[in-house]
Structure 1
Amino acid sequence: MIIVTADSGESLAGCLQRVLAEPEVSEVWLVDNASSDGVPQREAAARQSDGRLQLLQQTRNLGFGAAVNRGAMRAGGTHLLILNPDCLLAAGSLGQLLASLQRDPRAGLVGAVVCDAEGRPDPASRRHDPLLRRALATLLRLHGDAGVAVAGAWPPERVVCDAVSGALMLLPRRAWLAVGGFDEGYFLHCEDLDLCRRLRDAGYRVWLDGAVRVEHGKGGSSRHRPVFVSWHKHRGMWRWFRRFDPAARRPWLAGLVWCGLWAHFLVGLPVRWLSR
């Protein structure tokens, strides 16, 4: 299991407590991207008697995907669980996800329905590829299944989808190695979309287990750096578009998308700046 922190806050304690209570967990690599709050070091020291927890300290913020890759290089086992530090696993969730994954020999990844504290599912738990036409439909708030989020009721069991939330991802190690892990060209955001797409392109299936719910605190490290996070989110969107969207092959359209993305960033800048 790999958990990446970057000034993620006190939610890490609850995350680790739930994780280490799961019998399937043989090791946890806590990769800290140069946090200044001291929380990862404190939590690792408090659990030093549990040999499963290892702290991998970085001297600078490498970005989410690069930090996960560092942890994955050291982790053993046949499966990798990537979990955000503000996620709370319910008892038995990991066993259920493993069983779901093992039912399909071509499964490359399984995710869960990520919810807020009130139990409301995050639409990012089950997504279409964010092609330009879908992104525009989402921006224009068009109804139906035209946007990035998948429309309709949440499935009660597992379903195949384009992408799941990067807050929780369980993969067989063979699938992870087949695609080379996360693309480190993304610093923060959209690396999960990229990974799901490359797994599918390699012939694997991406599953969402609708029966598994995980509470997610929505980014402790993001709340005090909204401009930084927004910058990298827009940068990630541009990278994904250039790599995977057929519309990017038209230079004039790619130019319009680039202008639209950064105009969207600039328009939202005052609000994000004031919300720090």
Structure 2
Amino acid sequence: MSEAPVSAILVSYHSGAVLWRALDALKAQRGLREILLVDNGNPPNVGAELDRLAMADKIRLIRSERNLGFAAGCNRAAAAARGELLLFLNPDAVLMADGIAGMLGAMQDKPQPWIAGARLVGADGVERRGGRRGELTPSRALGDALGFGSFNRHRRPLPPDPIELPTVSGACLLIPAADFRALGGFDESYFLHVEDIDLCRRLRERGGTVWFLPQIAVEHEGGSSDAPSLAVERHKLASFRHYFRRYYGGRPDAAIVMALIAARHALRAPFLRLSDRHRIRDSDL
């Protein structure tokens, strides 16, 4: 393996100011070969700043004429990546100092295929949900919705060492490029959300392992994007429906979960629509 084997991939669409912090943290990492940033349709001022960074730094800018979605944007960048390993990082995720070196050290002796994920924390250092997760099943989804599920495991004691789990978060996900390509990349049927859960599942079904690295922290508050909240929620709903149909389509419990997800969306939609209107009005002031 080369001294700088990692291609970092970010997909940006109205990502907010934290994008610049995420890029600064990445550029300081040991083990980084390149940054590939997919501009999925940012405002003109953000696009101009990305152009400037691409000329001055080791950032390779990939532009799309339309918003491809997260999965398709990642796949497009992965096809152009030159690194032996791919690090998928959300544009609002700030990787700790020497995070890449730590991930490489933790995974150097693990047999392929594998995926490695990190601990997600807020600005206060408290672990957030999503970094370590179980298998997503209808019963676990229902349990999590009711507050007693075992899909998200961030409230459990933090393990002292890397631990094998069913699922980690795509907010910071490391995978050998050969393994990613052998899986066919992310399933582009997911426009936004759940593509990471699906990728972990497909890798395990092929005999691979998924690892949670508790010593690697990523600051990931979420909610920094100024993309319309209602549109994001609709994509999330569609992604969960696709996942449950794909893996549990004929089961009654899957139908119940999908109905509950749809009902939750219907209840939240008026509030999200109102929030989006207020945000647009405030930005025009």
Distance in structure 1 (CA, Å) of the matches to 2:150 and 2:110 = 28
Structure 1 residue runs without a partner (length 5+): none
1:175 matched to which residue of 2?
179
2:111 matched to which residue of 1?
105
2:266 matched to which residue of 1?
266
Match of 1:233 among 227, 236, 240: 236
SS in structure 1 of the partner of residue 77 of structure 2: helix
The residue identity in structure 2 corresponding to 1:194 is D
Distance in structure 2 (CA, Å) of the matches to 1:171 and 1:181 = 11
Q: Residues 1-276 of structure 1: matches in 2 within 5 Å?
A: 1-50=8-57, 52-142=58-148, 146-150=149-153, 152-221=156-225, 223-245=226-248, 248-250=249-251, 252-276=252-276
Count of aligned pairs between the two proteins: 268
Superposed CA deviations along residues 241-268 of structure 1, whole A, max 9, x for unmatched, are 11223xx323x55543433221111011
Shift of 1:66: 0.1
Contact 1:44–1:53 (8 Å) recurs in 2? no
Distance in structure 2 (CA, Å) of the matches to 1:219 and 1:55 = 24
Superposed CA deviations along residues 139-174 of structure 1, whole A, max 9, x for unmatched, are 1212xxx43112521212210111111110000112
Distance in structure 1 (CA, Å) of the matches to 2:55 and 2:103 = 28
Distance in structure 2 (CA, Å) of the matches to 1:12 and 1:28 = 13
SS in structure 1 of the partner of residue 116 of structure 2: strand
- Identity fraction in percent: 35
Contact 2:22–2:95 (8 Å) recurs in 1? yes
The residue identity in structure 2 corresponding to 1:176 is F
Shift of 1:47: 4.9
Contact 1:44–1:55 (8 Å) recurs in 2? yes
The residue identity in structure 2 corresponding to 1:266 is A
RMSD over aligned CA atoms reads: 1.6
Alignment TM-score, normalising by the size of structure 1? 0.92
The residue identity in structure 2 corresponding to 1:233 is K
Structure 2 residue runs without a partner (length 5+): 1-7, 277-285
Q: Quickly say closer, same or farther: Cα 1:200–1:112, change in 2 above 3 A.
A: same
The residue identity in structure 1 corresponding to 2:246 is R
Superposed CA deviations along residues 4-59 of structure 1, whole A, max 9, x for unmatched, are 10011221111111111113111111101111253243134145132x21111111
Alignment TM-score, normalising by the size of structure 2? 0.89
Contact 1:12–1:40 (8 Å) recurs in 2? no
Shift of 1:188: 0.4
